[in-house]
Amino acid sequence: MKPLQDLAVDLAAGKTTSRDLVEGCLAAIDASPEGERAFVAVHSDRARVTADAIDTLRKAGAPLSPYAGIPMSVKDLYGVKGEVSAAGSKVLRDNAPEAEDCPTIARCRQAGFVFIGRTNMTEFAYSGLGLNPHNGTPRSPWDRETGRIPGGSSSGSAVSVADGMAAVTLGTDTGGSCRIPAAFCGITGYKPSAYRVPLGGIVPLSFSLDSAGPLGQSVDCCSIVDGILSGEGAATPEPLDMRSLTFAIPQTLVMDGLDETVAATFDLTVARLRDAGATVVEVPFTELGDIPAANAKGGFAAAEAYAWHKDLLAARGAEYDPRVGGRILKGGEQSAADYIGTLTERNRLIAAANRTTTPFDAVITPTVAIVPPAIAEVDDDDAYGPVNILCLRNTLVWNFLDRCSISLPCHRAGDAPVGLMLTGERGGDAKLLRVAKTVEGLLAQGI
């Protein structure tokens, strides 16, 4: 499916209709076995009715958002009026439907997006792999015959966009859950500065780290939806002069243990940036090496998830994915002193990291250290934990440091998917999106 700005032009020119776009998405969902794995609910009839109403208004010349009528999928933890927010779990499936839209959904509805369905996810958003034993696991678009993980936790969201089942989608990102699946599925995923987008009405994982962001075909797609979610207004960023940009590559933690494909693809991308006139500097960035120790007892995610889940776990713990429930339970082992220590260390590291990154337009690293492994390889208790930690390693440091961050596909067409992650300053979203648009233009010349 085309990017949002192209779909908006086609709708305005009468080259397509909302109903046509909706039918195309529904056909894509029906045509692939990934449809039933990527979605936990598909709202066919409701989407058709909404699309027809928007088409009637547009034909009558009513003032509409440029994006009115474009199909959007929604991760299964956003509160949508009349729908149950199960968060990929069994234990919330019988909850009452939401009485009203959460703020982010209300903003998307006001912009005219057509909600095509709710997407599958890691249970309670607590893993970077994307496996879900209750609903099944959608496969990455790459090497479907083998069946490779889509990345998590916004697994179905990423697959829905990559497979043309939605034009754009809503995800969340606590430790990488927009960027990891974007990297593994060959699309773009954005983690905004957390304070910019309201989180009310979204099932939480960690209120200290959660952020709500889009996944789409391009930087423009993510920027448009981010502007709507934040209330700042939909906009597409203007690219900058590549020769004016300076990038930092940290030499601590995030470049360790890259697989051969990721390392080679990243090196080629860095060479292309330098050839295009950008300055790329290797920096120690030793602060990153202190983050794993700060999170050694589970960090904010485990402690804050346990506070939310403890009663539910006591009553229905056997119905949780054991790999998720077990990690949440570890949050109960933290003391108040442990939690306060993590908070204090976070504040120290944020201040130190801010000093390190001030001279640079963005920090660049591979989004994930490895290409997506086979589902069969990680659906094992011994392999699951180490691979999950590795997949989350490069992304979660930026949640801990309270930054905005984006993943762009940087691999060549047909190759294993590799994401290039660009990270900006807290609140530096507008600049980061301009930098990302600049880099995306360069990458597109060789993809």
Question: Burial, 24: exposed, middle or buried (Cβ in 10 Å; 0-12, 13-18, 19+)?
Answer: middle
Do residues 118 and 87 lie in contact, with contact meaning Cβ atoms separated by under 8 Å? Answer: no
Do residues 422 and 362 lie in contact, with contact meaning Cβ atoms separated by under 8 Å? Answer: yes
Residue of 18, 32, 153, 208 with catalytic role: 153
User: Length of the chain in residues, anyone?
Assistant: 447
The contacts of residue 396 (CB under 8 Å, 6+ apart) are 174, 175, 176, 291, 295
Residue with tokens 């990102």: 173
DSSP string, 377-420: HHSSHHHHHHHHHHHHHHHHHHHHTT--EEEEE-SPTTSPP-EE
218 included as an active-site residue: no
Residue of 73, 140, 157, 177 with catalytic role: 177
Q: What is the dihedral of CA 434, 439, 440, 441, to 10 degrees?
A: 100
Distance of CA 18 to the CA centre of its chain: 25
177 included as an active-site residue: yes
Distance of CA 27 to the CA centre of its chain: 24
How many of the other CB atoms lie within 10 Å of CB of 291? 23
Residue 391 structure tokens: 């997949």
- The H or E element spanning position 41 is strand 39-42
Type of residue at 71: P
What are the start-end ranges of the E strands in 173-272?
A: 188-191, 212-216, 246-250
59 included as an active-site residue: no
CA pseudo-torsion sign 425, 397, 158, 107: negative
What is the DSSP code (8-state) at residue 92?
T
Q: How far apart are CA 190 and CA 309, in angstroms?
A: 27
Residue of 18, 73, 75, 405 with catalytic role: 75
Which residues are known catalytic residues? 75, 153, 177
